[in-house]
Amino acid sequence: MLLGSDQPSVQEALTRVRPLIERHAEIVCEDFTFTQDLSRVESDLAVVLGGDGSILRSARQMGPHQRPVVGVNLGKLGFLADLSVEKLLSVFADVCAGNCTIVEHLMLSCSVIGKDGQVLAERLGLNEAAVLGGPPYSIMNVDLYVDAELVTTYSCDGLIISTPVGSTAHSLSAGGPILRKNLQAFVVSPISPHTLTVRPVVDTADRVYEMVVQEPHVDTAVVVDGETLHNLTPNDHVVVRRAEPQFKLVEVTGHNDYRTLRKKLGWGGRIQQMERD
C-alpha cells in the first residue's frame, strides 16, 4: 500500500519513489486522502509518506489488520516516519527481501461508556487518549480508576493516558517521561495539575484504566491521537485498555532510539555551549 496526504511535498516525493517501489513490489492500494478502509486491503507492507501524523491516520485506517509500516519523513520531527526519501531509495530492496526488523508496538483501545452501560464511542489509538477540559478553561476534577479501583482525583486541565509511542508526543509536553517504544506500559500524565505533588505515573498495559469527569464543561471531550472521539457528559466513563492489534514498524539497519532523541529533540545529558553573538 502507498499512503500519505495530498500535500505537494508528498506528491513530489511520490514521483521519486514510485519507480523504485514498482520495481520491487506490486502496489495494490493508494490512498492520499485518508478515507479508505484499509482493513479490507490484502497487502504485505504499507509505505507512508509524510510525518508521524500520516502514520497515525494510516494505523487507524488499518484498524484490526495492521501491516508493517515503512515511514518516510517529509514532516518536522518524524519519530515514527524515520526514513528520508534518499534512505528509502537505498534500503527498499532490502526491506522487500526481508532484510529488516519489524518491531511491534502497543496500541490502545478507547471506549466511552454512558451511565446505562452503553458504548457511546470507541476507537483504536497509537499515541494517546486524553480527556481535555475545553471552554470555559477552568480547572476540572478527573477521577482515575485502575482495574475498577479509585487511584486518585486530579485537579487539572486534562489527563492523558499514553502508549510508549505516544510518550514523545502530547504526554512529553505535559512533563511525562520518555518510554522505549516497544515497552508494554501506559503513561498517565496530568495536564497542569493544581498541586506540586502530582507526577506522571507509568504502569503496566495489562490493566484497565478509566477516567471519569463528574462535572464536565460544555466542550469537555475525549481525544484520541489528536481527534475528538466524544464530548463527555457527567459520569461518562472513558475506558482505556491494551488493544488486540499491535502497530508494526519496519526498522532498517542503523536505527537507534537514543540517536533519534538526540537528533530530533536535541535531548542530551550535558549542557551545550551556546554560541556568542
- Which residue intervals of 63-155 are DSSP H helices? 85-96
- 97: its cell numbers: 527481501
Helix (H), strand (E) at residue 155: strand 149-156
Edge-to-edge, what's the strand order for the sheet holding 158-162?
201-204, 185-191, 158-162, 128-132, 221-224, 227-231
What's the rounded Cα separation, in Å, for the pair 48 and 196?
Answer: 41
Cα three-residue angle 237-153-137, rounded to 5 degrees: 80
206 is catalytic: no
Instruction: With H, G, I as helix, E, B as strand and everything else as coil, classify residue 114.
Output: coil
Closest CA to 185 of 177, 194, 174: 177
What's the rounded Cα separation, in Å, for the pair 163 and 248?
Answer: 14
Of 31, 44, 52, 277, the active-site residue reads 52
Active centre residues (catalytic): 52
